[in-house]
Structure 1
Amino acid sequence: MGANGLTRMTLYGINMDLFSSSPIVILKVEDENRYLPIWIGHAEAKSILMKIQNQEFSRPLTHDLAANIISGLGGVLEKVTVTELRDSTFFATLNVEVGGESVEIDSRPSDAIAIAVRTGAPIFAADEVIEEASVVFEESMEETPEEEVVDKFKEWVNQISPEDFK
């Protein structure tokens, strides 16, 4: 798949798991019809949605604060990576460059993605995670009307649960 065992992803969107009422962030492999669904918390989903919808607040929210801390200390978020899937739980890291050194920081994927959308940092996933937990659609979603894409994801989400990714 990708170089160094990592594949670049884009944030495709956020959907709702109708069975658990949990939000799902959906990452897409660039230039493929392969998608990586990650169940996340409501607060993180709201944080991601607020940023991609360009909602502004007078005071920084938690993920804004984290991005401000990184930049305030002279750092740059180089990338975030979904690194592992273990016991139905996804793991991630933040790679921050500070003073010419790269520091890897453990993170939940939802927090890493929320910070990445604030800083413009690229999102990656380990190829093993993509192989284990992604879903592939036959036709290109970019050429499909948005309502049909949402319907396809809802249909797919209604057939699976987090336990399917063990």
Structure 2
Amino acid sequence: MKLRVVWIGKTKESAIQTLTGEYLKRLSRYVATEGLEIGSEEALLKLKDRPGRTAPVLVLMDERGKQVGSEELANFLGYHRDQGVQDLIFAIGPSDGWQKETLKSATQVLSMGKMTLPHELARVVLLEQLYRGYTILTGHPYHGGH
């Protein structure tokens, strides 16, 4: 399985770039991982529509999505890993929200909670939670110690 974390728009803050790189590196210990900066929702839909052995799973992060805890996210990751999903894509959208067409194409829409986060910070939070999810799946003590 390949885990892709996708965001729309350029990264402005060097601290965000550093943290993004750190969590992508940590994730790569557990799953093939790629971070992608793209310019539009259309580019995301093209990425989703690339042919593969299995249909890609697209998870959009949106304030109206389902809220899940770390263990539930870990179960979601484990389920798709065990189902042989080839491409699992998590995407953080544009600041004005997802278009209806993009929302309809999603396999799942998740929320990080009711608080509003800057998109760059939301990316780091998502990456940390994905890393935490994989440590939960493998029994690594990271989750228990935080």
Structure 1 length as normaliser, TM-score?
0.26
Question: Whose helix proportion is higher, 1 or 2?
Answer: 2
Question: Whose strand proportion is higher, 1 or 2?
Answer: 1
Whichever of the two has the greater Rg, that structure is 1
Greater RCO structure (CA 8 Å; 6+ sep): 2
Structure 2 length as normaliser, TM-score?
0.29
